Structure 1
Amino acid sequence: MKGRDDTPEASLVERVIAGDKVAFGRLVEPHLPRLLGLARRMLPFADEAEDALQNALASVWIARAGLDPQQPVAAFLTTVTLNKCRDRLRRLKVARLLRFTALDSDVPVAADQPAPDTEIADRQMLAHVIRTIDRLPLRLREALVLVAIEGRSHREVADLLGLTEKAVETRVYRARQRLRERIDFL
């Protein structure tokens, strides 16, 4: 029977620790779409999300000696990405406070060629929902994004955020409740 350290991921982690950049690319590549999606949901601008993910990957590379070949890398990558998103959000908050930037979101929406009035209404509703999610307190937004949008279990989110499952459940409930209060159709 193979042990945990005999998996292809464990082998890649060992090569990454040794400084193999190609192995690092192979290790993180399957996680990139999910991590970028997470960053885009946490941050108001796509370019901020891309920068946060790039910083997260650079941080993982720099701290590669701390990787554990016996632990799955997905949770570690998610945690580092969330931390970089938090850092960016703090900077954006300071910039907003100092009025250096305007934080109006550009909301890209894929068009399926609906009727123009339907498309306009849908875009407006989506923009309203995104703005409402962006205004949630960070602790509620993180739990909501990870559970409702990323599709993670309460247990996974609890492990990622260092909480109990009940705390995650409560945060998701409160986030949804606040959304319902602010958006009349939910």
Structure 2
Amino acid sequence: MKKDLLNIGVAVIAVALTASAVTMMFLAGSVRLEVDRLAAANSDATQWSLAQTEVDVLALQIALADAVAQGDASALADVRRKFDILYSRVMTATNARQFAELRLEQGAEEALETLRGFLERRVSDFDGPDPALRSVLPEIQDDVEGLREVARSYSLLGVGFFAPSRTKDAKRSLCCWRASAC
């Protein structure tokens, strides 16, 4: 009787340990898939942010054209808002850790320097009174026209830089999924 209870106890412990091991393997696989999913989302957000740099330059260019044509206070407010968005985007690309390796790529720092140079030269115009801003809008339009290609090349450089790691992440996730499915 005592031996039977001991055997039953050992069997219960063995079943419990096996169930725990299987559960831990399942949870580890789930955690790995979730980490890979979050990494992919971060990569997607990074690439989106890079592409937005070009979009923000174009949005500023359109707002400038509207402000020159209309000349009213709401058009100037829109120009200021577009400038602030571009300023924020470029400063993020300049300072964010997620872009540190990209900034080391040939052409990236030069593109950012060109964008920052424009922003630093023009920030006092955008922060000044309406009449002062209105008087320099044509000059700013000329400056922004030159930024389009810089922003585009920076965006494409970044997408090209981050896309290969995204492909590797997808392949690694597929391999992990196959391994856990077997």
Q: Which has the higher helix share?
A: 2
Structure of greater Rg? 2
Superposed pair shares fold, TM > 0.5: no
TM-score (norm 2): 0.26
Which has the bigger relative contact order, CA under 8 A and spacing at least 6? Answer: 2
TM-score (norm 1): 0.25
